[in-house]
Amino acid sequence: MKSILTVAVLALALSGCSEPEPEGVYVEIDIENSKNINSYILFNPNIKTIEECEASMDGALPSIMANLPPQVPQDSKATGWKCYLKDPRKG
């Protein structure tokens, strides 16, 4: 019982020591492709607000899609996008 309590206390202590989110925005781009990968998430430290992100994405999206990393299928087509201040993968 004592070891379970120790583990629980350590988990609580470590959860309070997590690294803060970096400043910037995350963009989740919804995609369709032959590999059934449904989204691609990128981080932009140069944009700090949702409003800035939304205003710039229409112009930036063609360049982003033309320069996808190797793990994202090159036949991907963007079907939508959303800006976040926190990493959407972390819930």
Domains of the chain: which residue ranges?
23-90
Reported pTM: 0.75
Query: For position 61, what pLDDT does the model report?
Result: 98
Spatial neighbors of 82 by CB under 8 A, at least 6 apart, are: 27, 28, 30, 88
DSSP assigned state of 72: S
CB 76 within 8 A of CB 37: yes
**Model confidence over 59-70: pLDDT tens digits?**
999 999 999 999
- Average pLDDT score, the chain: 85
Query: For position 17, what pLDDT does the model report?
Result: 59
